[in-house]
Structure 1
Amino acid sequence: MRVIGLLLVIAVGLLALATLLAILEPAHWVPALIVHFRWQLAAAALGLTLASWICQRRLVLVPAVVCLIANTVPLVPYLRTVEPVMGTGPMVRILSLNLRDDWTDPVKFQALIDREQPDVVLLTELRGDMAPLTAAFKDHYPHRLVAPRLSPLDVALYSRWPISKGEIDRQVGTWLPVLKAEVCPPQACLTVVGVHAALPFGDFKSLQDRQLALAKEKAWSGSHGPVVLIGDLNTTPWSENFARLTRPEEYFLSDGSRGHGPQTTFLSRFPLFGLPIDHVLVANAGVIDRRIGPDVGSDHLPVTVDVQLSR
């Protein structure tokens, strides 16, 4: 029993240290990384709370409960049911996928497109030769905005409907594009901003900050109608960077994943390490449904969202 007690003290101590470090997120990229593992920290805290209670180790029970509360509170909006926000305009189905270059299997990708039949598709981390994948589009997506392949973070937009005012902004860095376009289904238009954000490590973290700030600016510059910001943002919903995107200000974007549970999209082959970093954020529109697609070969899973536009 002494060994078990010692192991509990060490485990709860490490959990408390990680939880405290997460508070220092704005100060350095290392504690900022810890924030992304809220689901894992909450699960560990729950397990250690139960173990401490069963073993009657009051010394570690209290800090385990404190850690459980601290790591669970940010997750509550994603656990409780949220009623769909209905719009008054047409429905648009959006699919987003990080291809991981050549990892995505063309056959599985074809099956995904045939099953979901999205209206708008955003692809990131493009292949050198996109032909094996775009063959799946056939004649259904005649309208396209594709960034010249200058880096692994380039993006491409495909649509059933006309694309206008298309632009690819590289002011943050040549290899860090932010795509913006207007897609117009019948009787409405939708501003689409697509991005594959820089990694949250080292010097890249400041670039990610600037790139996401630019993406938010693009989402609202000159737009008063429905807006979606989609792509691999390389950040989770409980990070400060994500909070800046969704914080109520003069304008803000709503997180379409709220109320849909822990929909992890990256490293999901490893359930203990999966992270929700692929997002669809909306404004002046309602998210009717959001779901994660099957493994198509990439280290990311596809995200499909049904959005109803507001007129």
Structure 2
Amino acid sequence: MLILATGLSLVESNEWWVRIWDFPRAQILALLIIAAGLVLWRDRAWGKWLAVGCALAGGWQLYRIMPYTPLGSKEIAFADRQDKGDGCFSALSLNVLESNRDYARTAKLIDRERPDILLLLETDRRWEAALAPQLGRYPHVVAQPQDNTYGLIFASRLPMREGRVEMIAEADVPSVSAVLTARRPFRVIGLHPRPPSPGQDTEARDAEIAVAARRAARDKRPVLAFGDFNDVAWSRTSQLFKRIGGYLDPRIGRGTFATFPAWAPLLGWPLDHMFVTPEFEVRSLRVLENVGSDHLPVSAILCLAAGATGNDRPEPVSAEDRRDVDEIMDEYRSERRAE
């Protein structure tokens, strides 16, 4: 079963029962190691062949997740100083879990962290009302409360223009886009597409991520993209998003920074992301404590550098990448026409 799940993860398909195997790669790797040991211990003829299969499958799983371990090569050099200075700001992203009614813990988190940029996902009108004192401290708020677990609230202390809610791929799944200023203007994109689940394939999710990547590539300003992508960092779609948008990932070479499920982060997945273009320095990136949601909050201190940052250059975009994005959009349009 573990070898079969690994094989399915190689298939380029939008079917939910294929794409879900992108998520538990670390868990499957651990189970493959255990399985290989057990079949060798049983010392049967077929056990050796199963152990070889486990080794091959485990090697593939390790290859996919290794960049998100200390074995990977860092592509963003963290700045030494942790304090905020000129051109620096803090950002906090949290999927609050709409059904979570423990508003006080999230309010306390916001009061303590005092982020300059705040993105809250799965927010309905009750969440908006409960956090009114915290949101009232922000001069700029863009909110789209909804009862379908896809509402959002975006708030900024930084000067803002062009702040708006957009429906990129689905009419009831909003995203946010804004131009803020810290030393110089930069764009912020906040995303929360639908996840793969029984009866819900990934055409719309992949299309939303692809459109956001294309927009970042066309924008001449620095870009910060963050939120709950409902996709793991090492998936084909997330890696395509990185290349097309010209992003870097501060987690590479440091760890997975898993955020879901909140009750077991050591066994979880990195679903909540902060991607930046090379003009940014990263002073810190943290996964914070559980505040009652099924996701953990992500906090960062980012700076728009005055000069060279020492970051790696983004991976080049290949002709195959561009074809992949076109295929994603074609599949999405075909799915919408079929509906």
TM over 0.5: yes
Residue 257 of structure 2 corresponds to 263
Greater mean deviation of Cα atoms: 228-237 or 19-28: 19-28
Residue 282 of structure 2 corresponds to 287
Residue 130 of structure 2 corresponds to 132
Tell me which amino acid in the other structure corresponds to 1:59.
W
Q: Distance in 2 between matches of 1:27 and 1:214?
A: 17
Instruction: Please show how residues 1-311 of structure 1 align to structure 2 within 5 Å.
Output: 14-26=1-13, 28-54=15-41, 56=43, 57-80=47-70, 82=74, 84=77, 90-103=87-100, 105-129=102-126, 130-137=128-135, 139=137, 141-147=138-144, 149=146, 151-185=148-182, 187-201=183-197, 202-221=199-218, 223-247=219-243, 249=244, 251-270=245-264, 274-283=268-277, 284-311=279-306
Cα deviation, 1:262-286, whole Å, max 9, x if unaligned, reads 3221223145752211111111313
Residue 6 of structure 1 corresponds to none
2:14–2:202: 8 Å Cα contact kept in structure 1?
no
1:293–1:303: 8 Å Cα contact kept in structure 2?
yes
Q: Distance in 2 between matches of 1:145 and 1:23?
A: 39
Tell me the CA shift for residue 115 of structure 1.
3.0
Q: Distance in 2 between matches of 1:217 and 1:89?
A: 29
Q: 1:220–1:105: structure 2 CA closer, same or farther, 3 Å change rule?
A: farther
Q: 1:108–1:203: structure 2 CA closer, same or farther, 3 Å change rule?
A: closer
Q: 1:257–1:134: structure 2 CA closer, same or farther, 3 Å change rule?
A: farther
Structure 2 residues without counterparts, runs of 5 or longer: 307-339
Structure 1 residues without counterparts, runs of 5 or longer: 1-13
Q: 1:262–1:51: structure 2 CA closer, same or farther, 3 Å change rule?
A: farther
Tell me the CA shift for residue 143 of structure 1.
1.4
2:188–2:225: 8 Å Cα contact kept in structure 1?
yes
Q: Secondary structure at the match of 2:13?
A: helix
Q: Secondary structure at the match of 1:200?
A: coil
**Dislocated runs of 4+, deviation >4 Å:** 52-57, 85-89
Q: Secondary structure at the match of 1:103?
A: coil
Q: CA RMSD in A?
A: 2.5
- In the alignment of these two chains, the number of paired residues is 293
2:135–2:141: 8 Å Cα contact kept in structure 1?
no
Q: 1:27–1:127: structure 2 CA closer, same or farther, 3 Å change rule?
A: closer
Q: Secondary structure at the match of 1:26?
A: coil
Q: Distance in 1 between matches of 2:248 and 2:110?
A: 26
